[in-house]
Chain A
Amino acid sequence: MAKFLSRRATLAIPLGAVLMPALPRLAQAAPVIRAPAPDFAAPDQDGTMRRLADFRGKVVVLEWTNHDCPFVRKHYGSNNMQALQKQAAERGLVWLSVISSPPGEQGHVDGAGARRLTTERGAAPAAVLLDPESRMARAYGATTTPHMYVIDGEGLLRYMGGIDSIASNRAEDVPKAEPLARNAMLAVADGRPVERAVTRNYGCAIKYAPGA
């Protein structure tokens, strides 16, 4: 008892408060490099369901996009994104553009809208995946448009991060930047290790669907 009373007891009177801000969290933490990439099942622009498992044996590139985001426009306006998509197709890579905006939010399109955008912009993805409930974005911890992921033929995640190294919305920065996503995609296609497997992704915040 005496010991209990003597220990600086009075100082401790107003002691202590745990402050735990109750904040929304990503449903799942960001995926891990060299671990199996999260599986997904999403309809493409024609309504066909696409699953990651369908592409086993092929390198898959995921590009999160929102056609009205200034950072996305930077890469489509400068033809950088379309060039990368064509390069991927030539090398036999599967390029999937992912649209996670829910209805009513910037970037949301239906299948017809996605087809029109592809034509208008001269884009060349293997498919555009429609993710209006943001499930796929949650699974991958995607935060921005653009946000790039490269998955190897065994389904392991090999790259996640930025499209390139200069976080601006100016098209004139594209040639000056280090093409991080391109380097990663080609390294995985060549069977080389990816030099920088996690980089800073920059862009507009993904307009997540509420709930879930």
Chain B
Amino acid sequence: MLRALPPLLALLSLALPALAPEVRALESTPTRSERARMTLASALDAVAPGQPFRLGLRQVLAPGWHTYWRNPGDAGTPPEIAFTLPEGASATGFEWPAPERIPFGPLVNYGYENAVLLPLTVTPPATLRPGDVFTIEAQASWLVCEKVCIPEEGVFRLDLPVEAAPRPDPALAADFRAAEAALPRPSPWNTALGFEGPQGALRLEGPDLSPALVKEAHFFPGEWGVLDHAAPQPVQLAEGGLRLGLPRGAAPLPAGPLEGVLVLTDAGGTRSAYSIAAAPGAVPPPLAGAGAGAGLGAGLPLWQALFWAALGGLILNLMPCVFPILAMKAMAVARLSGAARGAVRGHALSYTGGVVLSFLALAGVMMALRAAGGVAGWGFQFTAPAFVAGMGWLMLAVGLNLSGVFQLGGPVALGSGVAARGGHLGSFATGGLAVLVATPCTAPFMAAAIGAAMLMPPAATLAVFAAMGLGMAAPYALLALAPGLADRLPRPGAWMERLKELLAFPMYAAALWLLWVLAQQVGPEGLAAALAGGLAVGFAAWALGRAQLARGGRGRLAGRGGAALALLAALALLPALATAPAASAGTRASAAEPGAEPWSEARLAALRAEGRPVFVNMTAAWCITCKVNERVALHSEAVRDAFTRRGVAYLKGDWTDGGPAIAAVLRRFGREGVPLYLVYPPGGGEPALLPQILTEALVLEALPPG
């Protein structure tokens, strides 16, 4: 019945778009159970004679249930399908999207949960004519398991109208796109793989592999039992390299290459799959001893890491970032000269404690962020604009305190204020402040030690950071250990007031520097907000100062109230900073790529108004799929050449910060994240959406003819 009606149906669906999904002929009647809903789905609404197209077994699974990959792991079997096709037609077998590890007790299976589409290619007979109907019949069986396994089977039928040109089905496009994106593509990396006894390893080398990009990695062997399916595969990462431990299973190694799929999860949480095939040889060595390009810090033994960390900490005292804090510390030391030996020692120890504990706290937060899947590098706190602005205000407040605008330490000037009163808490706080401000400076000095530290067990990591803190606090700790030194310090006197006022200026300079850092992150609006906050802090300091000078309780109250209000106003600006749009996102991304301009809606509109074709690439620093696409497809000679010859403008958008402008574009094209590739034809018209996995041929084909 349906078979005779496709032209009429097409007409109907045009006339009554609301009814179209009901009468669609491109997805078979489902086979349903409480566990699974299976259909045979076609990527096309109408097929063309002799032109291959995609078909898929579309699985929607109830929560907790799963079906299997081609190697099902410890138990289970993959789905099977057999076609009955008209004479002259052919069908391939399933292609397998990257599976998940599905643990069950001590066992691990490889399969799919929730929903998956297993695509395959069908070629209709070349002898078909427009107006014919191409009928596909298939019998499929699958095992669906939760704790128990239920074998199911179904018979499917699709009646596809034949037209002169293939007509895609927009309703299923997203499902097919997701399936194609999850298919493994050839690995672009140098591969070595080998085993000895029960252990083995896979080692990949090449650009795009780095600890910052790869969050998780797992190798799924194509053949059953060669690897221990349930065993963890320890990952080692370095700049330009990845090594995965592969514990052996009971089955013998294949005579030829060992084949499988490597699944990488990038820092943004996106999975990408790469097919790997390599003849097993000797176990590839760990990355630590690798040649050029591999991580340099990775192999540092603990004592060396500790030594370099301590030395780096010591040198930090000479870095510009810490000058303002040192200024504060110098004040405190000056005050101490002539003080009792025990007091000097106490302050030195408090300061050392503050420094070391702050280093440990930062390391702990960083490790926690990484464990939770974030991309926290050293100095991560400086990537938050609100933190930078807050630090800037704090520096300003400390400077105002030193300038004498207000005297007593309120909560704002904890460091200097409490220290001024001789409290150990003050020394401790100064130490903490010094560490917070110093971290951006630590990078070049302690890279190797930090790199090694992050590869160590947590206890060793913390030890390295503690060593760094001890190194930084060493000059002051010496005061405690060698009390004779304190006696040589100059005597206190009127010069201290001058020194104090003078030291306010490094603090103002520090505030200025922080605002400059902020300007890189947030653009003019954010900067204006931060400056307004600075104004409020200044007012608060003045009001507090007046309150301190006031004789009456009323004046004191008014001053303090004013100060508190101004501070609240400043704090109220912080959320605005957190959401402020990035200033230079575009320039950052394209800086590395000649020929690319930063993306903006305005620039895109301008280029389109000129009638030029435009290629849009939405990417992010943490997106490994994006980087591989750029390397294998976008940076190829042929593609670059085609861009030039055909006058294609290349716009690149950087979504590293997850900004709303690019997010809106992604949403408009039905994507949750990057990569997104769009080709705008010359002279206007809707853009073509490219798949998330690019090849050189695919890009060349998608570009408008020159």
Q: Chain A's interface: helix, strand, loop or mixed, by majority?
A: loop
Q: Which residues on the B side are within 8 Å of A48 (C-beta)?
A: none
Known: A13-B450, A15-B238, A15-B295. A143 touches B216 (CB 8 A): no
Contact pick for A105, options B147, B232, B234, B311, CB 8 Å:
B147
Contact pick for B106, options A7, A27, A169, CB 8 Å:
A27
Q: Which residues on the B side are within 8 Å of A112 (C-beta)?
A: none
- Cβ–Cβ contact B234 & A15, under 8 A: no
Counting CB contacts under 8 A, is B289 at the interface?
no
CA distance A5 to B149 in the complex (A): 59
- Cβ–Cβ contact A69 & B251, under 8 A: no
- Cβ–Cβ contact A8 & B455, under 8 A: no
Q: Which residues on the A side are within 8 Å of B370 (C-beta)?
A: 17
Counting CB contacts under 8 A, is B62 at the interface?
no
- Cβ–Cβ contact A144 & B75, under 8 A: yes
Counting CB contacts under 8 A, is B109 at the interface?
yes
Counting CB contacts under 8 A, is B364 at the interface?
no
* Nearest-CB residue, chain B, relative to A141: B250
- Cβ–Cβ contact B447 & A198, under 8 A: no
CA distance A84 to B378 in the complex (A): 64
- Cβ–Cβ contact A20 & B232, under 8 A: yes
Q: Which of B223-231, B324-332, B405-413, B521-529 sits within the interface?
A: B223-231
Fill in one digit per residue for A110-135: 1 if any B CB lies within 8 Å of its CB, else 0: 00000000000000000000000000
Q: Which residues on the A side are within 8 Å of B104 (C-beta)?
A: 205, 208
Known: A20-B234, A144-B74. A207 touches B454 (CB 8 A): no
Counting CB contacts under 8 A, is B211 at the interface?
yes
CA distance A84 to B216 in the complex (A): 46
- Cβ–Cβ contact B443 & A13, under 8 A: yes
Counting CB contacts under 8 A, is B452 at the interface?
yes
- Cβ–Cβ contact A16 & B296, under 8 A: no
Fill in one digit per residue for A146-185: 1 if any B CB lies within 8 Å of its CB, else 0: 0000000000000010000001111000000000000000
- Cβ–Cβ contact A143 & B107, under 8 A: yes
Fill in one digit per residue for B597-619: 1 if any A CB lies within 8 Å of its CB, else 0: 00000000000000000000000
- Cβ–Cβ contact B296 & A207, under 8 A: no
Counting CB contacts under 8 A, is B103 at the interface?
yes
Counting CB contacts under 8 A, is A12 at the interface?
yes
- Cβ–Cβ contact A30 & B250, under 8 A: yes
Known: A17-B454, A18-B236, A205-B74. A12 touches B249 (CB 8 A): no
- Cβ–Cβ contact A29 & B228, under 8 A: yes
Q: Within B197-232, which residues are at the interface with A (CB < 8 Å)?
A: 198, 210-212, 215-217, 224-225, 228, 230-232
Q: Which residues on the A side are within 8 Å of B231 (C-beta)?
A: 23, 25
Q: Which residues on the A side are within 8 Å of B141 (C-beta)?
A: 168, 170
- Cβ–Cβ contact B108 & A23, under 8 A: yes
A205 shortest CB reach to chain B, Å: 4
Q: Which residues on the B side are within 8 Å of A5 (C-beta)?
A: 444-445
Q: Which residues on the A side are within 8 Å of B225 (C-beta)?
A: 198, 200
A65 shortest CB reach to chain B, Å: 14
- Cβ–Cβ contact A160 & B443, under 8 A: no
B241 shortest CB reach to chain A, Å: 11
Q: Which residues on the A side are within 8 Å of B295 (C-beta)?
A: 12, 15-16
Q: Which residues on the B side are within 8 Å of A106 (C-beta)?
A: 147-148
- Cβ–Cβ contact B451 & A16, under 8 A: yes
- Cβ–Cβ contact B198 & A29, under 8 A: yes
A92 shortest CB reach to chain B, Å: 28
A94 shortest CB reach to chain B, Å: 23
- Cβ–Cβ contact B77 & A168, under 8 A: yes
- Cβ–Cβ contact A16 & B145, under 8 A: no
A160 shortest CB reach to chain B, Å: 7
A148 shortest CB reach to chain B, Å: 13
B239 shortest CB reach to chain A, Å: 6
Known: A24-B106, A205-B104, A208-B107. A169 touches B143 (CB 8 A): yes
8 A-B pairs besides A7-B448, A9-B445, A210-B105 with CB distance below 8 A are: A12-B295, A12-B451, A15-B211, A15-B295, A23-B108, A30-B249, A160-B250, A198-B251
14 residue pairs of the A-B complex, CB under 8 angstroms, read A10-B444, A11-B239, A12-B451, A15-B211, A15-B447, A16-B455, A17-B211, A21-B216, A30-B250, A144-B75, A202-B72, A202-B77, A206-B105, A208-B106
Residues in B lying within 8 Å of A, measured CB to CB: 72, 74-77, 80, 103-109, 141, 143, 145, 147-151, 198, 210-212, 215-217, 224-225, 228, 230-239, 249-252, 295-298, 308, 311, 370, 375, 377-378, 443-445, 447-448, 450-452, 454-456
